Amino acid sequence: MSAIKKEYLPNYTYDDYILWEGNWELIYGVPYAMAPAPMIKHQEISNKIAWQLQEVLKECKVCQALLPIDWKIDDDTVVQPDNLIICHRPQEEAYINKAPRVIFEILSKSTASVDKNLKYELYEQEGVNYYIIVDPKENIAKVYRLKEGRYIKVCDAYEDSVDFDLKECAFTFDFSKIW
């Protein structure tokens, strides 16, 4: 059996996306369902990440931590990272349209492949300074830093504290507090 030709697949846009019910992401015109809802451990880790980001950024006048919000990259790509840091003031209320500086994606069974592959490449291409892939099963966070347009692995963090250096501020994140 041969693969389906790309021209046979539907191509959706942001105008379609905003009409859909439920939680979706749109990547290169292809919809990805974000269902079922995240498991309890996923939610707990996301909450602990958000709390710690609020703490480490409280002195920074420019950067802010956000929970899932639409990042409209272009008309056919809209994603919702689990946790993120932006260092700009959004021009819209419904979404951000400029690359976050830091993104945390927490793996789940249904999204792991997209997070590890498609989003990894997308975030790298869009210039996200740090991408952290959090694995709640293994209690490991893979930390990547963008260097010369490519992600370089900083470490596998478990009980580690990792320094993040953004243009606007710098902070240390303690991964032992998220498990």
**Is the residue at 117 inside a domain?**
yes
What integer pLDDT is reported at residue 1 of this predicted model?
Answer: 64
Note the pLDDT tens digit of each residue in 7-59: 888 899 999 999 999 999 999 999 999 877 788 999 999 999 999 999 999 99
**Is the residue at 25 inside a domain?**
no
What integer pLDDT is reported at residue 46 of this predicted model?
Answer: 98
The domain tally of the chain equals 1
Distance CA 95, CA 166 (A): 22
Domain coverage including residue 56: 38-177
Q: How many residues does the chain have?
A: 179
The sign of the CA dihedral 34, 110, 134, 105 is negative
**Is the residue at 43 inside a domain?**
yes
What integer pLDDT is reported at residue 98 of this predicted model?
Answer: 97
| Residue 141, phi-psi category: left (phi > 0), alpha (psi -120 to 50), beta (remainder) | beta
Distance CA 63, CA 117 (A): 27
**Is the residue at 61 inside a domain?**
yes
CATH code of the domain in which 78 resides: 3.90.1570.10
**Is the residue at 6 inside a domain?**
no
**Is the residue at 169 inside a domain?**
yes
14 neighbors 72 (Cβ within 8 angstroms)? yes
15 sits in which H/E element: helix 14-17
**Is the residue at 97 inside a domain?**
yes
What integer pLDDT is reported at residue 91 of this predicted model?
Answer: 85
Residues in the chain where the model's pLDDT stays below 70: 1
Distance CA 73, CA 7 (A): 22
